[in-house]
Amino acid sequence: MANFTTHIGVAASAGAVIAASGLSAQLWPLTQAPAIVLLVALGGIMPDIDADKSHSTRLIFTVLAITAALAALALTQTSLSWLGATCLALGLYVGIRDVFAVVFRALTRHRASWHSLLAIAGVMFSTVTISFRCFGQPARLAWSDGLAVALGMLIHLLLDECFSIDLEGARLKRSFGTALKLFDYRRPYATALMASATMLIMPWMPRWPF
């Protein structure tokens, strides 16, 4: 499978191309372009979130923790005092980065449920919803954010499959077929949980704007 540098490098490059293309096609404003690059790059390492002690895991949980803290600050602007909002944001940051990450690693297995098209749908729908509900992005930009993460994740799965082909020996490695799959059919409970969570998010998403 591809390593961290390859994953983030290829995804960030693809993100830059997509961001520039969307800009010239007037799909989004200039302020959205950096977000598209970052989200495609983040999607590019997202499926390795379950790899124990990897660069990807640490980076993804740090980004998730920062996103949650910022979302909390945005959502509690009017309902909490400055001190209360800051304590909540700090609690979420530490909780996600140092507690939830450890529990998540203990409960998941690498290259299982998170290397699947179902996981891509779940993460895409969550991103669209968070972008729309927590950060007040208009539907069009919220969907662009979600599609950017989904593209990054798809690139990751395709890269993993490409690295499963041993070109010199002209044969397929044992890992071939484990990265790009519809869902993790060997773990029905994890798959059912992921499918249910994905469906629960759907009513909160804005309508498809394109």
Nearer to Zn ion, 56 or 131 (CB): 56
R_g of the chain computed on alpha carbons: 18
- Give the interface size with Zn ion as a residue count (CB under 5 A): 3
DSSP lists the bridge partners of residue 172 as 165
* Nearest distance in Å: CB 45, Zn ion: 9
Q: Which stretch binds Zn ion (CB under 5 A): 26-34, 44-52, 162-170, 194-202?
A: 44-52
Of the two residues 83 and 182, which places its CB atom closer to Zn ion in the complex? 182
Output 47 or 146, the one with its CB closest to Zn ion.
47
Q: Nearer Cβ to Zn ion, position 18 or 51?
A: 51
CB of 14 to Zn ion, least distance (A): 16
Minimum separation from the CB atom of position 67 to Zn ion (A): 21
The residue type found at 71 is: A
Q: Which is nearer to Zn ion, 43 or 47 (CB)?
A: 47
Q: Which residues pair with 165 in a beta bridge?
A: 172
Closest to Zn ion by CB, 69 or 157:
157
206 DSSP 8-state letter = P
User: Which residue stretches of the chain are H helix?
Assistant: 4-24, 33-45, 55-75, 82-94, 101-107, 117-133, 139-162, 188-201
Say if residue 29 is exposed, middle or buried (CB neighbours under 10 Å; 0-12, 13-18, 19+). exposed
Least distance in Å: CB of 156 to Zn ion?
6
Write down the least CB distance from residue 179 to Zn ion, Å.
Answer: 6
Of 126, 117, 122, 127, nearest in space to 179 by CA: 117
Min CB(171)–Zn ion separation in Å: 20
Q: Is 48 in the site for Zn ion (CB under 5 A)?
A: yes
For Zn ion, which stretch binds (CB under 5 A), given 32-40, 43-51, 82-90, 120-128? Answer: 43-51
Under 8 Å between Cβ of 140 and 210: yes
Q: Site for Zn ion (CB under 5 A): which residue of 41, 45, 153, 160? A: 160
Per CB under 5 A, contacts with Zn ion among 118-157 are none
**Spatial CA neighbour of 56 closest among 96, 15, 3, 111:** 3
β-sheet bridge partners, residue 166: 171
Which residues lie near Zn ion (CB under 5 A)?
A: 47-48, 160
